[in-house]
Amino acid sequence: MTRCTTARVDLAALDRNFRAIGWYLQDEASLNRSAGRGAVRPPGIIAVVKANAYGHGARPVAKTLEAAGATMLAVADIEEGVDLRRSGIHAPILVFGALSVSDLDGVFDHDLTPTISSPAAGAALQAVADKRGTKLRYHLKIDTGMNRLGFRHDNLRRTLPALLSSPNLSLDAVHTHFGSADEPGHQLFDDQRTRFESACHVLDELSAGPRLRHAANSAALLRDSRVWYDLVRPGLLLYGLVPPPLGSTLPLAPVMSLTSRVVAVKGVRAGETVGYGGRFTADRAVTLAVIPAGYADGLDRRLEGRGAVLIRGRRAAIVGAVSMDMLTVDVTDIDAVGPGDEVVFLGSQGSEPQQTIDAREMAAWIGTIPYEILCRLGARVERKYA
Ligand SMILES: *Cc1c(COP(=O)(O)O)cnc(C)c1O
């Protein structure tokens, strides 16, 4: 038995998106080679699968990206990394997040690559590695202006030597993260790039040895090939969406679609209200379709009066409160809607532009970003993989 509200995760589209990004990196690098500017070598790809692969399901997504040739996979914390190892992933796994002392063993037991972003984290890992008699490879995070995790870029000569001389830790790569790559013209982006490059020079002076560099999320990858370095770290692009407000000619397709079915159709008289709070009042005789999906499935309450769904190839406005398990849409102007009709929240129902809704559009309706739309898809929504 399955609920009629289901997410379809198109792993073939995921694979094509990964390859499209790879070709883009190759083409741009060869254009740069002839023009003598920017990155001249295509970087490797760290495929970001944190947060249950942006709601798509970490295990099948990671398996697909590993097979497609990702250099590394990246997760938010040790638990996510351990889950991927348990599912049989062999590719290197980078953990982005801060490490809490309690779960450091997971790094060693499951061969994860930690990010070290503070002297204390370095000391803790050195102690465990020493006790276990092993050498641990890690990535070093530099904070170049995000002011979240990472060693501050401006006092590395003071904060790094202890880490770099840790006998049981071996530096594989250095990275930073951009705070405004998706804001065209924002000065912070260029400031962060120059700070990161200065930080890399400091590492050279501290003779930290050869190591890889990486910095670019999806937006930075599209914005400036100078920040590709050795590896790029796309997340959203893999799932087929360009971070707004950026545009791109990359041939990407959204990996997730979300559909349901009409369970009931009913008439409402002029002057009557609909749903909790009675906030929608019919100004004429209105036909409503009831759909068994609500905020427990991740559909935001702010969609009321702002969002729409596709039914019979037409857009039907969401009217009345979005409830926990259902919502109502206005189908007065759509012919012959009946129980069982397919409802599309994310996806297509025809080839006209009006017949497609993606997470970017849904996000714009409610003033959020497509990342949040994808990640908040409810746990009870079954993901069907194709
Ligand atoms: C989430 C994340 C990414 C991927 O970001 P997108 O905008 O989805 O490409 C890259 N790097 C780090 C450190 C992240 O946390």
Tens digits of per-residue pLDDT, 313-324? 999 999 999 999
**Cα 357 to middle of ligand 1, angstroms:** 24
Ligand 1 nearest atom to the CA of residue 221, by list position: 9
Over the Cα atoms of the chain, what is R_g? Answer: 24
Q: Which residue among 56, 96, 255, 375 is best mutated to probe the pocket of ligand 1, counting the most ligand atoms within 8 A of its Cβ?
A: 96
Q: From first to last of the 386 residues of the chain, give the pLDDT tens digit.
A: 678 999 999 999 999 999 999 999 999 999 999 998 888 899 999 999 999 999 999 999 999 999 999 999 999 999 999 999 999 999 999 999 988 766 799 999 999 999 999 999 999 999 999 999 999 999 999 999 999 999 999 999 999 999 999 999 999 999 999 999 999 989 999 999 999 999 999 999 998 777 999 999 999 999 999 999 999 999 999 999 999 999 988 999 999 999 999 999 999 999 999 999 999 999 999 999 999 999 999 999 999 999 999 999 999 999 999 999 999 999 999 999 999 999 999 999 999 999 999 999 999 999 999 999 999 999 999 999 99
Ligand 1 nearest atom to the CA of residue 175, by list position: 13
Q: Give the residue among 313, 269, 323 at the shortest CA–CA distance from 291.
A: 323
Task: Report the C-alpha dihedral over residues 78, 83, 88, 91, rounded to 10 degrees.
Answer: -30
Give the whole-angstrom CA distance, residue 370 versus residue 377.
Answer: 11
**Cα 73 to middle of ligand 1, angstroms:** 11
What is the tally of helices (H) and strands (E) in the chain?
12, 21
**Cα 307 to middle of ligand 1, angstroms:** 27
Give the whole-angstrom CA distance, residue 87 versus residue 148.
Answer: 31
Q: What is the pLDDT of residue 2?
A: 78
Q: Which CATH architecture has domain 11-239?
A: Alpha-Beta Barrel (3.20)
Residues labelled as active-site residues: 50, 276
The residue whose two tokens read 């697909």 is 64
Ligand 1 nearest atom to the CA of residue 218, by list position: 9
Domain boundaries, given as residue ranges, for the chain: 11-239, 256-385
Ligand 1 nearest atom to the CA of residue 46, by list position: 10
**Cα 178 to middle of ligand 1, angstroms:** 9
Q: What is the pLDDT of residue 208?
A: 75
How many of the other CB atoms lie within 10 Å of CB of 84?
Answer: 24
CA 384 to chain centre: 19
Residue 190's Cβ-count burial label (10 Å; 0-12, 13-18, 19+) is: middle
**Cα 52 to middle of ligand 1, angstroms:** 13
Closest Cα to atom 6, ligand 1: which residue? Answer: 235
Give the whole-angstrom CA distance, residue 216 versus residue 237.
Answer: 12
44-48 and 72-75 strand pairing: parallel
Closest Cα to atom 10, ligand 1: which residue? Answer: 217
Q: What is the pLDDT of residue 102?
A: 66
Where b means 16+ CB within 10 Å and e means fewer, 265-279 reads: eeebeeeeebbeeee
pTM greater than 0.85: yes
Instruction: Quick: pLDDT tens for 275-289.
Output: 999 999 999 999 999
Q: Which helix (H) or strand (E) holds 62?
A: helix 58-68
Q: Which residue among 56, 75, 174, 217 is best mutated to probe the pocket of ligand 1, counting the most ligand atoms within 8 A of its Cβ?
A: 217
Pocket of ligand 1 (CB under 6 A): 48, 50, 96, 177, 217-219, 233-236, 243
Closest Cα to atom 4, ligand 1: which residue? Answer: 235
Give the whole-angstrom CA distance, residue 169 versus residue 120.
Answer: 13
Q: What is the pLDDT of residue 209?
A: 75
Q: Give the residue among 138, 131, 192 at the shortest CA–CA distance from 164.
A: 138
Side-chain half-sphere exposure of 250, counting CA atoms within 13 A? 32
What secondary structure letter does DSSP report for 43? P
Q: What is the pLDDT of residue 305?
A: 97
Q: What is the pLDDT of residue 100?
A: 75
Just give the CATH number of 256-385: 2.40.37.10
Ligand 1 nearest atom to the CA of residue 48, by list position: 4
**Cα 152 to middle of ligand 1, angstroms:** 19
